[in-house]
Structure formats: structure tokens, C-alpha cells
Structure 1
């Protein structure tokens, strides 16, 4: 399980080197990328930005996996998402957070994912 997470995080981070000149690593690009994912989820084929949708998936899954590892090794994570929450719902929560907090869109993508989930899924 640990190696799977490490490989996922490496894949996500390496994808930024491939497209480093064409995207920004902040909330503005994350909002666009997660919008592409939701378009794919809601409308199916015909997505104009499958790469962006994949970036969104990588950030959401990477932050969720990292939180799981942190909780398992340190006893607590940054957020506590119930198991029954679907992946699409996680992305919708993130997009809502980004739209509701435009003053934070200059911040790094991974930080915004953690902030969105911490606010929406706090640990009790």
C-alpha cells in the first residue's frame, strides 16, 4: 500500500514537469482542471481537457492517500472523509470551496485541497 501511494505521488508530481510551461500550480488552474473532471463525470465523452481532469484526480486522490498515511502513522490526519463519500462528491466539495474562496486561488493546489477537505470534513 505504501509503495502504491509513493508511486501515485511521483506520477502526479512528474506530470507537472511535462506541462510546466502551460499550467500554473495554483487554485486557478485547479478550479479549471476539476471543472474538466466534473464535465467528464456529468456529461461523459467529449471532454475537451482530459489531461486537466487527470490532474484534478491526482491531487484529490493524492491528498486523500497522504492524509490516510498521516493518520495511520501519526494518529491523526488533517481531515476525516467518511468512507461513503464518493470521489465525485470530493471533487464537488473542492470546487465549491475554490469558488467560495476566490482570495485563496493564488495558493498551491495541494494546500487548497487540504483546506477544502479540512473545512468540509473535520475530524471529530
Structure 2
């Protein structure tokens, strides 16, 4: 319960601020992800993409939890947050595959790359791993 309250306090403090930075665009993420070698940009790419995936799941879970009662275990968390987001990544999928899918989506949709990176990541995963 303490962790949940701490998390919500942090979220409210972050979003309650007047000085919220502009979100990264698909162009920003593609530029970082296109480096061939292990660089700081590649680390940023990896961290941003997987941070966005986990953040999207947590955001979806907060919406689900606010509508339900009782505790939710990790399996229910994954199911409910994935269903709410429209993507269900199979447990056998490796991190490199997720990065490849996101990069391919960004390359193949240049008309959308000015949009929020986290929105584009969600779209990429929903098109590749739709929930059945």
C-alpha cells in the first residue's frame, strides 16, 4: 500500500508541475536507435523503449485498479494492462525483437514520426502483438 501511495504521489507531483518537458518524438527515438554500436544513444534507445512499455503498463493498470476492488497479482497485472493497451507480448519474445519491431515501425511510418514516441511504441506493439 505504501508503494502505491508513493508512486501516485510521484505521478501527481510530476504532472502537477508547470514545467513539463516536451515528450520525445518518434524522430528522436529512431535517431537514438539507429546507431550500430553500443553507444550512449543505444542505451538511451533501449532505456526509453522499455521504460515506455513498462510505463504504459503501469498507467493502464492504474486505470484498471481504480475501477476494481481488491489486490491484483502480477499475472493479472500483465493480462489487464496488456488488454487495456491492445498489445500482448508473448513471454518468449526477446528484448531485441521488441526493439526491432519499434524501429521497423518508425522507419515504415515516417508520416507519424513527429508524434509522441510512447504513442508510436504502443502502436508498433499493438500492430505486431494484438491481444487475441
TM-score normalized by the length of structure 1: 0.64
How many Å apart are 1:63 and its aligned residue? 2.5
Mark the CA change 1:73 to 1:106 in structure 2 (over 3 Å): closer, same or farther.
Answer: closer
Find the counterpart in structure 2 of residue 92 from structure 1. 100
Find the counterpart in structure 2 of residue 83 from structure 1. 91
Q: Distance in 1 between matches of 2:84 and 2:53?
A: 10
Gaps of 5+ in 2: 12-20, 65-79
Residues 31-51 of structure 1 deviation map (CA, whole Å, 9 limit, x = unaligned)? 121122xx23xxxxxx4xx22
CA RMSD of aligned residues (A): 2.8
Gaps of 5+ in 1: 11-19, 41-46
TM-score normalized by the length of structure 2: 0.61
How many Å apart are 1:30 and its aligned residue? 0.9
Task: Check the 8 A contact 2:25/2:115 in 1, yes or no.
Answer: yes
Kindly name which structure, 1 or 2, has the bigger radius of gyration based on alpha carbons.
Answer: 2
Task: Check the 8 A contact 2:53/2:121 in 1, yes or no.
Answer: no
